[in-house]
C-alpha cells in the first residue's frame, strides 16, 4: 500500500509511515499530500493497525516544510485553496481515530512542524530542529500552525517563534512542551515503537474515547469537558472490551481485547 512519496510498514499492530522525498528533505508537495491522504484512508479501515508512527526518510529531515517551488507561483485564490487543503488533511490527522505518534528525526520546519503538531504525541531525535520560518518568505503558517502552536506552548512563546521565524533545537522544544521526549537518533524509532506497542495492547475503543475526551474537551469550559468525559465513560460500559477488561482484572490475567 506504499505510495511514491509515503512508505508504509506494518508490524505487530503498528504502522510506520515514512515521508519519502529525501532529495527535497521530504518537503510537502501536492503529490506528497495526496499520497499521505491515501495512506491514512487505507490504514483507518485496517483492523490489524492500532497505532501509527509518522517519520521522515534520511538522516536530515522529518519534513523540512512545504515545496517552495510550488508555493512561489500560486495566485491568491490558489494559495487559499492550498491552505484549506493542508488544514483539512492535518485536522484529519488530529481527529484520526487511531493514535498517531510523530517521530521527528530531523528538520521539522514550516509545514513539517505543523504536521508534527497535528499528531497526538511527539517524540524527537536530539538532532531535530523545529520552527515556523514562514515570515522569512513573506508569508505565515498556513496548515494550522498559528492555531496549534499557541495551544501547545502558550501564546507568548508561539508569538515569539512565529514572528521571528526562529528555529529551536530538540532540547528547547522539550522545555516549552512542543515534544514529549527527546532521544538519541539511533534509538528514536525504537522508542516510538515501544510507546506505540504500549498503546496498541490497550482496549481500542477506550483509547479512541480517551483521545477524543482530551482533544475535544481541552478547549471547552471545565464543566463541559467533564460532561463529555462522563458521556464517553458511560458509553464504554456497553462494550465487550469493558466486560473483558474488568473480568480479566478480577481473574488476575491479561485482557484479550477485540475492539468491540
Question: Grid coordinates 532521544 are at which residue?
Answer: 183
Helix axis angle for 30-44 and 76-94, nearest 10°, is 30
Q: Which residues are catalytic?
A: 114, 134
DSSP 181-222: EEE-GGGHHHHHHHHHHHHHTS-HHHHHHHHHHHHHHTTS-H
Q: Which three cell numbers stand for residue 182?
A: 527527546
Phi-psi map region of 27: left, alpha, beta (phi>0 left; psi -120 to 50 alpha) = beta
Burial annotation 171-205 (CB, 10 A radius, 16+ → b, else e): ebbbebebbeebbeeeebbebbbebbeebbbbbbb
Amino acid at each position: 500500500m506504499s505510495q511514491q512519496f509515503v512508505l508504509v510498514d506494518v508490524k505487530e499492530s503498528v504502522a510506520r509511515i515514512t515521508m519519502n522525498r529525501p532529495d527535497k528533505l521530504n518537503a510537502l508537495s501536492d503529490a506528497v499530500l495526496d499520497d499521505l491522504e491515501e495512506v491514512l484512508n487505507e490504514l483507518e479501515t485496517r483492523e490489524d493497525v492500532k497505532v501509527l508512527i509518522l517519520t521522515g526518510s534520511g538522516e536530515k529531515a522529518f519534513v523540512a516544510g512545504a515545496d517552495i517551488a510550488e508555493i512561489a507561483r500560486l495566485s491568491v485564490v490558489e494559495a487559499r485553496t492550498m491552505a484549506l487543503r493542508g488544514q483539512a488533511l492535518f485536522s484529519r490527522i488530529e481527529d484520526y481515530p487511531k493514535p498517531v505518534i510523530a517521530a521527528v528525526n530531523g528538520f521539522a520546519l514550516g509545514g513539517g512542524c505543523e504536521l508534527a503538531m497535528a499528531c497526538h504525541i511527539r517524540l524527537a531525535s536530539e538532532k531535530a530542529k523545529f520552527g515556523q520560518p514562514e515570515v522569512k518568505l513573506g508569508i505565515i503558517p498556513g496548515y494550522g500552525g498559528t492555531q496549534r502552536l499557541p495551544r501547545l506552548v502558550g501564546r507568548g512563546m508561539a508569538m515569539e517563534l512565529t514572528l521571528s521565524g526562529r528555529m529551536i533545537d530538540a532540547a528547547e522544544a522539550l522545555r516549552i512542551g512542543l515534544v514529549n521526549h527527546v532521544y538519541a537518533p539511533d534509538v528514536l524509532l525504537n522508542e516510538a515503537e515501544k510507546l506505540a506497542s504500549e498503546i496498541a495492547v490497550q482496549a481500542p475503543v477506550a483509547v479512541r474515547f480517551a483521545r477524543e475526551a482530551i482533544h475535544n474537551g481541552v478547549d471547552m469550559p471545565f464543566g463541559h469537558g467533564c460532561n463529555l468525559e462522563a458521556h464517553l465513560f458511560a458509553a464504554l460500559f456497553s462494550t465487550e472490551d469493558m466486560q473483558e477488561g474488568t473480568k480479566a482484572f478480577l481473574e488476575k490475567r491479561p485482557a484479550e481485547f477485540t475492539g468491540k
